[in-house]
């Protein structure tokens, strides 16, 4: 009996055949995707990539794909990293080297919804999630008073300005270090209310001129960069929502600072919309292929 096409092949499914582990670096526009993890009947990152790999490699069903982090619906990635185990020697007779062939063939199947930017065979003990040293996210805010064009909502959050960038950066500095981020994270319903300890290696806001005229005249682009060893669910969007509320004068700076390290999110703003968020870098040791995307190994992530 063949494996149903909706079910990912587990490690035990592949145990009877020789496999090699591959690292794939991915980019995707999350606007029309229902997040990273597979969901029956819905378009997701691993669902699309798994189906494409199954067709290219000739599997009965999609293989198990493990990522550096799970992005929510509507969140983008310029440098997601995954690993997948594929049958050994599947492209041994091809004239084109296996990594190049894999990238070209899978991207042809994906037709632009997700893109493989890099592929390589790696060691069997490489793990996209547990081998990662850090993750880097970027959030974009358009600082403009005029109503935004619809297309800008897919990659940024439009907020009336000017925002108090100094206050927002003071809060970014408070978030750095190791804290309990329960107030800024969403946990599954029914999960125990235990501390969610995360280490933020660096965080900062910068203001940039809208030189390509995406927004209305006078628009500025605020960019929030944050690097952590790992993140919990909605952590970046919750931090951005709170910091922007402070920058707009709608929330007290001291209240937000007090919530870092506490369990209560009473009084905090709602999380920022997903469209402004993108995973832009994941750090790995050189033996695992080095960082994907933005290389912050020489900066915050030491």
Q: What is the DSSP string of 23-84?
A: EEEEEE--TTS--SS--TTS--HHHHHHHHHHHHHT-SSPBPEEESS-PPTT-EEEEEEEEE
13, 72, 164, 180: which one is catalytic?
72
- Kind plus residue range of the DSSP H or E element containing 257: helix 253-259
Give 17's DSSP letter.
Answer: S
Topology (CATH) of 134-285: Alpha-Beta Plaits (3.30.70)
In this predicted structure, what is the pLDDT of residue 203? Answer: 97
Give 244's DSSP letter.
Answer: H
**270 and 241 Cβ atoms separated by less than 8 Å:** yes
Class of domain 19-122: alpha beta
Catalytic residue flag (residue 180): no
- Whole-angstrom distance, CA of residue 132 vs CA of residue 121: 17
Cis? peptide before 162, omega within 30° of 0? yes
In this predicted structure, what is the pLDDT of residue 249? Answer: 97
| Closest C-alpha among 106, 125, 33, 32 to residue 63 | 106
* Fold matches, 19-122 and 134-285: yes
pLDDT in tens for each of the 302 residues of the chain?
A: 333 333 444 444 444 468 999 999 999 999 999 999 999 899 999 999 999 999 999 899 999 999 999 999 999 999 999 999 999 877 665 555 689 989 999 999 998 889 999 999 999 999 999 999 999 999 999 998 877 777 788 899 999 989 999 999 999 999 999 999 999 998 877 777 899 999 999 999 999 986 666 766 668 899 999 999 999 999 999 999 999 999 999 999 999 999 999 999 899 999 999 999 999 999 999 999 999 998 876 677 65
Domain boundaries, the chain: 19-122, 134-285
Specify the pairing of strand 277-283 against strand 134-143. Answer: antiparallel
- Whole-angstrom distance, CA of residue 122 vs CA of residue 21: 6
């Amino acid at each position: 009996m063949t494996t149903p096409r909706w079910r990912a092949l587990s490690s035990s499914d592949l145990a009877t055949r020789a496999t090699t582990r591959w690292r794939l670096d991915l980019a995707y526009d999350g606007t029309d995707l229902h997040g990273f993890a597979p969901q029956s009947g819905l378009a997701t990152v691993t669902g699309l990539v798994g189906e494409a790999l199954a067709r290219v490699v000739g599997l009965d069903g999609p293989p198990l794909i493990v990522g550096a982090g799970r992005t929510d619906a509507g969140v983008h990635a310029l440098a997601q990293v995954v690993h997948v185990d594929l049958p050994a020697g599947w492209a041994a007779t091809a004239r084109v080297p296996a990594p190049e062939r894999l990238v070209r063939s899978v991207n042809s199947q994906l037709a632009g919804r997700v893109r493989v930017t890099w592929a390589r065979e790696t060691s069997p003990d490489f793990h996209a999630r547990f081998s990662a040293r850090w993750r880097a996210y970027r959030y974009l805010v358009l600082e403009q008073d005029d109503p935004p064009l619809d297309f800008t909502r897919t990659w940024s959050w439009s907020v009336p300005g000017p925002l108090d960038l100094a206050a927002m950066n003071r809060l970014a500095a408070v978030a750095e270090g190791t804290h309990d981020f329960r107030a800024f994270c969403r946990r599954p319903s029914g999960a125990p209310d235990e501390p969610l300890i995360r280490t933020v290696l660096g965080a900062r806001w910068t203001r940039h001129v809208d030189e390509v005229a995406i927004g209305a005249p006078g628009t500025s682009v605020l960019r929030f960069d944050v690097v952590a060893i790992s993140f919990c669910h909605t952590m970046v969007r919750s931090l951005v929502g709170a910091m922007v509320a402070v920058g707009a004068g709608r929330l007290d700076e001291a209240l937000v600072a007090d919530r870092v390290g506490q369990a209560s999110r009473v009084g905090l703003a709602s999380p920022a919309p997903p469209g402004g968020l993108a995973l832009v870098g994941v750090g790995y040791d050189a033996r695992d292929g080095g960082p994907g995307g933005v290389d912050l190994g020489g900066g915050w992530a030491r």
